């Protein structure tokens, strides 16, 4: 198997060009994204077939990708979805922590106030 590494730009867009063409036949690909905590999240794999085609000046190897649409679009969209999902999870966690801290502070501040609303005196 080929293991390829690339990085995304600030918008989550990325691309990778394979240096040596794939052999004709069936292949599978997937994307793995490293999260901030070092864990890898793997996409579902998608299958594609490389067909032997006539050689041309623009395509000297004569290989073609037999898919209805560009594979970069699907992979890039999936990567964007994963980045968005991780961002939403982090935002929800930070919001939860801030709410808990605020409620704890309010409870702490309120324990020194009597039922009539006046501060307790020692």
pLDDT band at 69 (very low <50, low <70, confident <90, very high): very low
3-class DSSP state for residue 115?
coil
Task: Parse the chain into domains and list their residue ranges.
Answer: 25-110
Give me the DSSP letters along 28-48.
EE--EEE-TTS-EEEPPPEEE
Predicted confidence at residue 55, as pLDDT, reads: 60
Q: What one-character DSSP code corresponds to residue 10?
A: T
Residue 82's pLDDT band (boundaries 50, 70, 90)?
confident
- pLDDT, tens only, 28-45: 888 888 878 888 888 888
Distance of CA 73 to the CA centre of its chain: 14
Residues 6+ apart with CB under 8 A from 2: 18
pLDDT tens figures, 83-122? 889 999 999 999 999 999 988 887 777 776 666 656 566 5
Helix residue ranges, H only, 1-122 = 71-110
Q: Which of 51, 6, 9 is nearest to 32 (CA)?
A: 6
Q: Which residues are registered as beta bridge partners of 25?
A: 50
Q: Check residue 103 and give its pLDDT.
A: 86
Round to whole Å and give the CA distance between 23 and 51.
Answer: 9
Of residues 28 and 73, which shows the higher confidence score?
28
């Amino acid at each position: 198997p080929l293991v390829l590494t690339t990085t995304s730009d600030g918008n989550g867009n990325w691309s990778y060009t394979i240096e040596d063409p794939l052999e004709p036949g069936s292949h599978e690909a997937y994307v793995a994204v490293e999260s901030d905590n070092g864990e890898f999240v793997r996409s579902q794999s998608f299958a594609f077939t490389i067909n032997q085609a006539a050689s041309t000046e623009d395509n000297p190897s004569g290989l073609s990708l037999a898919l209805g649409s560009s594979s970069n679009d699907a992979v890039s969209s999936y990567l964007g979805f994963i980045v968005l999902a991780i961002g939403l999870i982090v935002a929800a966690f930070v919001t939860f922590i801030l709410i808990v801290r605020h409620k704890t502070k309010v409870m702490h501040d309120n324990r020194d106030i009597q039922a009539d609303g006046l501060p307790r005196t020692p």
